[in-house]
Amino acid sequence: MARIPWAHRSLLGGSGLLLLLLGLWGGLIPFVGPYFHYAYTPDKTWDYTTTRLWLEVLPGAGAFLGGFVLLIGRGRSLAMLGAIVAAAAGAWFTLGTVLSPLWNHNVPLGGTPASATVVMKIAEQVGFFTGLGVVIAALAALAFGVILAAPRAVVPAPRTALVEDADQATQPIAN
């Protein structure tokens, strides 16, 4: 298993930590946001619905898991898996409400922003779904790029073949 160098690991750790925090935000904000008048309908604290499960809790858990794997994963393939899971979670935050009519009889899921002002409705849309998903996907893409840019381990060639060829090259040619 190819290990990722320390300099690249520090970048992955930073991305992983941010993904952990954003995953926590995305999974918990629908339940605690109403305390701060920052909510989607239903705007009740700790009100569980299957819509919240599919559109907020599961993608939040995916971003959290992807960030955790990036933090602890030492190998290239495990880190790639974490980045892919986090990118999928970000895509689902962004596109989940848009694609939800496909399985909900042409009715979009996710509710509506609960605030009265236009600015707060935009802030809720960005903070709950669209902006959150874009930032998660961008961090996952950054982590994936760091993983791909990390130098791979080079396997040395067998020494016996190199030594034999060197010895034959130094032999004088007989006339």
Give 146 or 153, the one with higher predicted confidence. 146
DSSP the chain: -PBPPHHHHHHHHHHHHHHHHHHHHHHHHHHHGGGGT--BSS--TT---HHHIIIIIHHHHHHHHHHHHHHH--BHHHHHHHHHHHHHHHHHHHHHHHHGGGTTTT---S--B--SSHHHHHHHHHHHTHHHHHHHHHHHHHHHHHHHHSPPPPPPPPHHHHHHHHHHHTSPPP-
Residue 60 has a pLDDT of: 98
Name residue, tokens 């990390």.
Answer: 150
Residue 166 has a pLDDT of: 55
Asked which of 13-22, 29-38, 71-80 is least confident by mean pLDDT, the reply is 71-80
Q: How far is CA 175 from the centre of its chain?
A: 69
Residue 56 has pLDDT above 90, yes or no: yes
Q: What is the mean pLDDT of the chain?
A: 86
Q: Which residues contact 28 (CB under 8 A, 6 or more apart)?
A: 60
pLDDT in tens, 74-128: 788 899 999 999 999 999 999 999 999 998 888 888 888 998 899 999 999 999 9
> In the chain, what percentage of residues exceed pLDDT 70?
82
Residue 12 has a pLDDT of: 87
Residue 155 has pLDDT above 60, yes or no: no
Residue 14 near residue 148, CB atoms below 8 Å: no
Q: Whole-model pTM? A: 0.82
- The mean pLDDT of 26-46, rounded to a whole number, is 92
